[in-house]
Amino acid sequence: MTASFLLEARGIARRDTRSDTVLLEPTDFALAPGERVSVTGASGAGKSVLLRALALLDPLDSGHLVWHGQPVERRAIPRYRRHVAYLRQRPALFDGTVEDNLRYPYSLHAYHDVRFDRVQAVRLAEAAGRASSFLDKRANDLSGGEAQLTALIRVLQLSPEVLLLDEPTASLDPDAARAVEALVTAWFEAGQGARASVWVSHDPAQAARVSTRRLIMQAGRLSDSKQVQVTR
């Protein structure tokens, strides 16, 4: 493994301390710029555990992560999370408009040096097939698909380098799922080969559409990679 990777996991592992159950076997993983990786597997196989570990949302029992060739130390985690963004299956939005929700990250200290750009937000909404008026909708009036699009736009407007998607379309209808896929594809292509993604999915057909490398999770173990042809 070399510094040519954006993100590396070296022997990361997780256990359930209450039951002493292994959630994630010691795992090595590397993500290069321009890669789109999908992870499939049965429910309970450890897919979400892996993704949350890569996002440093849960403490690791062993191993460590490397970002641009440098180990991620505790004090660097906020900066790391700025560049490695995690999107969960069920988004958390607060009462207000879509724009209010999009503005929220800019109130956090980690983003004190950047400002909300409505033009950029509208451009992202349009890439998902929504008009500029979408930003004026109330969060309580959004469908499940629209709520997920809002959460995704909220992440993408911050220009992460790596996107970790934890079954973001599992509860959406096919049209909404395709809108999410289209928005992620537009973000990836705008990065001109500098961005990468890891998409956890329960749908093998979707995994084939959204990735160029497919992995399988079984009982906390990540399989060898498999090269696949991208389907649009």
pLDDT at 232: 43
| Predicted pLDDT of residue 224 | 66
Mean pLDDT of 52-56: 96
CA atoms of 89 and 118, how far apart (whole Å): 25
Q: Place 30 in a pLDDT band, splitting at 50, 70 and 90.
A: very high
Looking at the predicted structure, is the pLDDT value of residue 143 above 90? yes
pTM equals 0.90
pLDDT of the residue at 90:
82
Q: What pLDDT sits at residue 33?
A: 97
Show the tokens assigned to 154: 């909220």
Mean pLDDT of the 123-152 span = 94
Taking each helix axis as running N to C, give the angle between helix 174-190 and helix 144-156, from 0 to 180 degrees, rounded to the nearest 10.
10
CA dist., res. 11 & res. 29, Å (int): 8
User: For residue 39, what pLDDT is reported?
Assistant: 96
pLDDT value at residue 92 = 87
User: Which pLDDT does position 229 carry in this prediction?
Assistant: 44
CATH superfamily name and code, 7-93+160-227:
P-loop containing nucleotide triphosphate hydrolases (3.40.50.300)
Which residues, in sequence order, are bridge partners of residue 71?
A: 66
- The proportion of the chain whose per-residue pLDDT surpasses 70, expressed as a percent, equals 95
Every domain of the chain and the residues it spans: 7-93+160-227
Place 20 in a pLDDT band, splitting at 50, 70 and 90: confident
> What pLDDT does residue 2 have?
46
pLDDT digits (tens, 9 = 90+) for 192-222: 999 999 999 989 999 999 999 999 999 999 9
H helices, E strands: number in the chain: 7, 11
For 88-132, how does the pLDDT look when each residue is reduced to its tens digit (9 = 90+)?
888 889 999 999 999 999 999 889 899 999 999 999 999 989 999
